Amino acid sequence: MGPTLAGFVRRHWETLRSGGKVPFRIPVPNRRMIADFTLRRIDNSTYQREGARVFEMKIASLFIGLFLAPNYLVFDAERKRLLEIHGPTVLLREVDGKLVNTDADIYYRYDRGPR
């Protein structure tokens, strides 16, 4: 999701920066469906800091939204680079005999070249 979604955000940067919402669809493999999401800028996030823009990626379905928390994407406001992703992932883990999505905090680093 990271690099593909980052390019999508950059293509819609001005709309998002000015407070607009951007709808999009992505496959949800473990549910065998395509889901509608919206992306919007938020200003009151715990991930907000100087030089960063935070965008909320939220499922459009009100019903599914009761069970699936949004993701938060943190971008460098000047370079428009993805810095962090916070929230549920498609990775599943077993809890009390049930498979549940894993919440993650993903941090991108740009200070090193390929290893």
**Domain-wise residue ranges, the chain:** 2-107
pTM of the model: 0.85
| 90-105 per-position pLDDT tens digit | 788 899 999 888 899 9
Q: DSSP letters along 28-86, please?
A: EGGGTEEEEEEEEEESS-TT--TTEEEEEEEES-HHHHTTSPPEEEEEETTT--EEEEE
pLDDT tens by residue, the chain, 115 residues: 555 889 999 999 999 999 999 999 988 776 788 889 999 999 989 999 999 999 999 999 888 888 889 999 999 999 999 999 999 987 888 999 998 888 999 999 887 666 5
